[in-house]
Amino acid sequence: MLTRKVLGAALFAMLSLPAVAQGPAERLVERYTPLAGSESNAKALVNGLREGSEVTLKSATGTATIAPPTQKMGYGNIDNALAIAEASLQKQGIPQPTPNQLKGALSDVLQARADGRGWGEIANSYGFRLGDLKRPERPHRVEKLERPERPEKPERPQRPERPDHPRR
């Protein structure tokens, strides 16, 4: 009887908590909103690449339409493509690209993928390592503290010599 009450209370607590888990699409939108210039552009990119459909990016400076040469893409592939395009733009000194600049960089990456090249090969052609692009920034490691030197073991005292006993 007690276990039913405990389980019921736990279930009620779980159901009353707000859902905080994000799906992969939401995480990608959140991560690439600065690159895309707006949340609506980031959603259009993620959804368009996921479905293999045309993507229209809008900003105050203009509009650009990207027709992905790839088939439908999974979330990992979308992340790879956007990470490489973002790094390529940053390498060129463009941290906040216009829709046309983003279209150019992303179209080149997607075309390389459509031509059958692997993600690592594409990243290497831009001078990057894919793992470095995908790895979250880590705080600097604290250097390991040196171990104090071990105290030397004291020397063992020498055994006293046994006096010679006459054999019986």
* Rounded Cα–Cα distance for residues 85 and 93 (Å): 13
Q: What is the pLDDT along the chain (168 residues), one digit of tens a residue?
A: 545 555 555 555 444 444 456 799 999 999 999 999 999 999 999 999 999 999 999 998 889 999 999 989 999 999 999 999 999 999 999 989 999 999 999 999 999 999 999 999 999 999 999 888 887 655 445 556 677 777 787 787 787 777 776 665
* Rounded Cα–Cα distance for residues 67 and 149 (Å): 65
Q: Quote the pTM value.
A: 0.69
Residue with tokens 């389980």: 7
Per-residue pLDDT at 16? 45
Per-residue pLDDT at 21? 60
Question: pLDDT tens-digit profile of 62-84?
Answer: 899 999 999 899 999 999 999 99
* Rounded Cα–Cα distance for residues 5 and 3 (Å): 5
For residue 134, what are the CA distances in angstroms to 91, 109, 118, 164? 16, 16, 15, 80
Label residues 63-87 b or e (16+ Cβ within 10 Å = b). ebebebebeebeeebbbbbbbbbbb
Per-residue pLDDT at 131? 87
